[in-house]
Amino acid sequence: MVDVVSDAIAAIRTGRPHAARTRRTAPWGLRFPAARGTGFHVVLQGQCRLMVEGHDPVPLGAGDVVLVPHGQEIALADSPDSELVDVAREMDDSWTPAPDPVGAAGELTVLMCGAYQLDRAGAHPLLAELPAVIHLPRRVGRREALNAVVDLLGDELDQRRPGTDAAIPALLDAMLLYILRTWYEDHAPRSAGGWAAALADPAVGSALQHMHAEPATPWTVERLSRRAGMSRAAFSRRFTELVGRPPMAYLTWWRMTTAGRILRGGDAPLQTVAERVGYRSEFAFNRAFKREFGVSPGAYRRRDTGS
C-alpha cells in the first residue's frame, strides 16, 4: 500500500517542504489563509483549538497532528473567542508566524506549522479524495512511527545542530507518508469504497502495486487478473468500481504521470522516457502524452524547466 501512496506524493512533489516552530501564550489566535500547498500543524506542547468554517472547534493536545491536504483556510487558537491574526504566506508557500511573545504569563502552547509544495494539476485521485482536514490525535501505544517522527522534528527545530538543514526535509517527507498511511489504514471508511477500499482489497491492491512498480511491463487485464486469482471480467469490474476507471485506463494515466515526473526531473531523451513507461514507439508515446496533458512531451519539459 505504501508504495502506491509514496508514488502518489512523488508524482506531484515540487520544491522542498517547510516547517517552523512557534510559541504562543494565551490569549492567541492564528489564521492560516488558503494556500496552494498542503499544510500541516503539530502541537508540540500545550493545547489549542482547531477551527474550520462550518464545523465546531476541535480540541488539540500535545502530539496531535493536523493535515490540510487541499490548502483550505483554518485557524488555531487557545480559545474560540480569541482574536485571530493572519499568518503571512511566502512565495514558496512557507508560513511566517508573528514573532513569539515576550513576557506574557498565559498558558504556553508550542506549535510546529509548515507546508508541502505539491503540483495539483497532476494530483493522484488517492490524494484528491482526502477530506479537507485530517486530525490524528496522539495515542499511546499506537502510531509509534508517526509519534517518533513528530518528536524528532520537534527536537531539530528546537535545537539546530550540524545536519539539521538536511534532516528537517527528510523528516517532513517521512511525516507526510506516516500521516497518509495512518489515515488510510485506520480512519478512511473502507466500506464506502474509493481508494481506502482499493488499497485494502487484495486483488486490486496487488494490481496497483504491479502497475506502479513496473509501468514498462506490457500489462493486460488478463495478465493482471491471473495475478489476482480472479476471472478477467470479475477483476475488471472490481478494479473499476474501486479505482474509478478501468485497469488499462488507469495504467495509461499512471504511465503518463510517471513520464511527466521524469521529464520534470531531468534531460533523458524522449525515446528513453517512452521506454521507461512501456512505449517502444516514441510516436505512440507522444500521442498518448499529448492526449493526457494537452501538450507534447518536449513542450511539457520546456514549460516546466524553462529550457
Q: What is the overall mean pLDDT for the chain?
A: 86
**Contact predicate 76/82, CB 8 Å:** no
**Window from 156-170, 242-256, 271-285 with minimum mean pLDDT:** 156-170
| Residues carrying CATH 1.10.10.60, the chain | 201-305
| Band (156; pLDDT cuts 50, 70, 90) | confident
Q: Which residues contact 291 (CB under 8 A, 6 or more apart)?
A: none
Q: What is the pLDDT of residues 34-74, one digit of tens each?
A: 887 889 999 999 999 999 998 999 999 999 999 999 989 99
CATH superfamily of 201-305: Homeodomain-like (1.10.10.60)
Determine the CATH number of domain 2-190.
2.60.120.280
Please report how the helices 221-228 and 247-265 are oriented relative to each other, as an axis angle in degrees rounded to 10: 100
**Model pLDDT for residues 116-136, shown as the tens digit of each residue:** 877 666 678 888 888 899 999
Mind listing the pLDDT tens digit for each residue in 162-200? 888 889 889 988 999 889 888 887 755 555 567 888 888
92/284 Cα distance (integer angstroms): 37
All CATH 2.60.120.280 domain ranges in the chain, comma separated: 2-190
Task: Supply the DSSP symbol for 17.
Answer: -
CA distance 174 to 6: 10
- Three cell numbers written together for 125: 485521485
